[in-house]
Structure 1
Amino acid sequence: MDDKAVGGDAAKPNWIKRLTTLVTALVLVGLVVLAIRHVARDFHPAEVWAYVRLLPWARVAQAAGLVASAYLVMTLYDVSALKYLGIKLPYRTVGFGSFAGYAISNNVGFAVISGGSVRYRVYSVAGLSAADIAKIVVFSTTTFTLGITFTGALGVAIGPEVGAGLLNLPAWLLQGIAGLVLVGLGAMTVAAAVTHKPVRLWRWSFALPSSGVMLSQIVIASLEILLSAAALWTLLPPETGVGFMEFTALFCAGLAIAIVSHVPGGLGVFETILLLGLRDHGPAGGAIGALLAYRFLYYVLPLVLAGILLLTWEIRADHGPVAAWRRWRARKAGRSQ
């Protein structure tokens, strides 16, 4: 009886967490549906396809180059994590594992599970343990969180107009909040430099990395986010007239809400947030066309490339299901002779 009671008590937090996650996702999806209905009032499919067809190849090539650069910088998440853990792996392995992991998790969602599974498949062959790979995932997630917080706050501090229009709040209030966030990040960096003890925040306690590691995390993630935002900004209609840092703040907001929603790839959520923010900056058709082109360049192409690379790696490797199937076929052929 006591064991059952203990087990039931232990299970409650998990059920509460799952229920909270589900309710949050459903609420966000519901809000997105309402927002889509609002945005779709000015939506004309013919305008979208016309904009996509008429996109200059030079701008598409520029956006593709920025996307490629963003994914290249993204591999540094794992590089810095391995350096922090004191583990040495050739960049060829790290670049492959991290690129494939991010390309798949960006589309599937649930990055810790989907991206972590890909990393485990690649890094475990290189000799890393499951615990090491879990630490890499946590470190990379922390890096991204620091980067999107810093970049989003900096964007709002420099250009609060789009956010103020979206939230119907005074620009000075958003700038003040962004300033507090930046001060908080600065305080965390200083705390990491002067203390090596865990930091307590209300009920939570967590250990800070060194100030050098934290700064490198912020720089790497911020650069990756800026490159990703620049790729989409390049594809927007020229008449949109939104400054880059203003747009970056909106981009970070859309990205963060898409991640929290747990919708695979943030499909529809990310686009809706950006369309709401840009609704007073030109026709919706051009913005939707730019978002479609961006989704193809940033999500679809890397996913296809990652799939081809993983399949090629499995076929050429002497491990895994493909190698096991080949060995089974060889044994079967030997017995038949």
Structure 2
Amino acid sequence: MPMNASATHRSRSRQRWLGWAKRIVTLAFFVLVVVLLFSLIRNVDWPAVAETLRGYSLLTLAGGLVIAVASYVAFSSYDLLGKRYTGHELSVRQVLEVAFVCYAFNLNLGAWVGSLAMRYRLYTRLGLGVGTVTRVLSISLIANWLGYMLLAGTIFSFRLLELPRAWEIGATGLQIIGFGLLGASLAYLLACRFSKRRVWHVRGHEIVLPPLKLALMQAALGAANWSLMATLIYLLLPEEVFFPSVLGILLISAIAGVITHIPAGLGVLEAVFLALLQHRLATSEILAALIGYRALYFLLPLAVAFLMFLVLERRGRKRKRAERVSDR
């Protein structure tokens, strides 16, 4: 067998093994989450959960709604950074509308629907090229995960997450992960400031390293969005909970959701919060807070986003018809 053919064969074989390994890890993690969730909720006092939900005041729910709106504005502003980065001519209103719809669908139906398919569809219907949409998406994704790494790195490094006594052995491991996350975040910021190579090519797309000012804005918006999400859950939980713990648990559950590929992290969020908070709070209080969180942050925005999507689709069809008429 020629050398090049042999190398290609080894590369394909390695990719197949990596693919199978990824599927096995994902399946194992999914089974673990299901088993953990079942063991935690099998003896739940559901009437107590309903009673806790009925006990939320209108002021609390209104405050939660304000926090949810602020978080969606922060997330949608990632795409405004993409507008600044690419220099495209869509208006701020158009960008915020598209980003809001994509975020709501992303949270509820997964990244392939929200972040990818819907973003490309809506932006290209507004006249942006695929390359421009890819660069906007790259800025948005980096903002989200840069903010995540900075917050998770800080919480894990300084051991701000209050773990159950049986889990305390994992604090050192989390601390090491935290140092790594902070190091990766700092490396990105330093690269934005000092790197002489500004252009990278990923799967045929050109990615230009942003300036430091834009990178710092990515970090600020990303951290603000994750913090607001945690603030909403914190608002719905009893007062004795430590906020950095709530934020840390949310960040852990987000990664668990990414690994399992479960849309909306359904069951994953609940399993992680119950596992890490049940030593401090009643299960009914935790579940009530998470149900309220899902209603305010997932379901209500999804309903609004669906209506907005229909409006954007109608505008897109009108634009296409007008273009066809002008080309005749």
For Structure 1 versus Structure 2, the TM-score category normalised by the shorter chain is: 0.7 to 0.9
Tell me, yes or no, if structure 1 residue 192 matches structure 2 residue 168. no
Q: How does 1:21-170 map to 2 (within 5 A)?
A: 21-109=22-110, 111-163=111-163, 165=165, 167-169=167-169
Contact 2:49 2:287 (C-alpha < 8 Å) held by counterparts: yes
Q: Distance in 2 between matches of 1:103 and 1:34?
A: 28
Q: Distance in 2 between matches of 1:265 and 1:168?
A: 28
CA distance change for structure 1 residues 12 and 210 in 2, over 3 Å: closer, same or farther? farther
Contact 1:28 1:261 (C-alpha < 8 Å) held by counterparts: yes
Contact 1:71 1:224 (C-alpha < 8 Å) held by counterparts: yes
Tell me the number of residue pairs that the alignment of Structure 1 and Structure 2 aligns.
315
Query: CA offset at residue 307 of structure 1?
Result: 0.6
Q: Distance in 1 between matches of 2:166 and 2:115?
A: 32
Query: CA offset at residue 6 of structure 1?
Result: 9.7
TM-score (norm 2): 0.84
Contact 1:79 1:94 (C-alpha < 8 Å) held by counterparts: yes
Q: Distance in 2 between matches of 1:307 and 1:15?
A: 38
Query: CA offset at residue 296 of structure 1?
Result: 1.0
User: Which amino acid in structure 2 is aligned with residue 124 of structure 1?
Assistant: T
Bigger shift: residues 82-91 or 251-260 = 82-91
CA distance change for structure 1 residues 315 and 178 in 2, over 3 Å: closer, same or farther? closer
Cα deviation 1:12-55 (Å, max 9, x = unaligned): 56644543442232111111122113312551111111111111
- Percentage identity across paired residues of the two chains: 24
User: Which amino acid in structure 1 is aligned with residue 134 of structure 2?
Assistant: A
Query: CA offset at residue 176 of structure 1?
Result: 5.5
CA distance change for structure 1 residues 167 and 212 in 2, over 3 Å: closer, same or farther? farther
Q: In structure 2, what is the equivalent of residue 335 of structure 1? A: none
CA distance change for structure 1 residues 173 and 9 in 2, over 3 Å: closer, same or farther? closer
Contact 1:160 1:171 (C-alpha < 8 Å) held by counterparts: no
User: Which amino acid in structure 2 is aligned with residue 265 of structure 1?
Assistant: A
User: Which amino acid in structure 2 is aligned with residue 266 of structure 1?
Assistant: G
User: Which amino acid in structure 1 is aligned with residue 45 of structure 2?
Assistant: H
Contact 1:75 1:98 (C-alpha < 8 Å) held by counterparts: yes
Query: CA offset at residue 141 of structure 1?
Result: 1.5
Cα deviation 1:119-146 (Å, max 9, x = unaligned): 2222112211122212222221222111
Q: In structure 1, what is the equivalent of residue 326 of structure 2? A: none
What runs of 5+ residues in structure 1 fail to find an aligned partner? 200-205, 325-337
CA distance change for structure 1 residues 16 and 174 in 2, over 3 Å: closer, same or farther? closer
TM-score (norm 1): 0.82
Q: In structure 1, what is the equivalent of residue 312 of structure 2? A: 313
Query: CA offset at residue 178 of structure 1?
Result: 2.4
Q: How does 1:256-295 map to 2 (within 5 A)?
A: 256-295=255-294
Secondary structure of the corresponding residue to residue 304 of structure 1: helix
CA distance change for structure 1 residues 127 and 315 in 2, over 3 Å: closer, same or farther? closer
Contact 1:159 1:246 (C-alpha < 8 Å) held by counterparts: no
When the two chains are superposed, the root-mean-square deviation of aligned CA atoms in Å is 3.1
What runs of 5+ residues in structure 2 fail to find an aligned partner? 200-206, 323-328
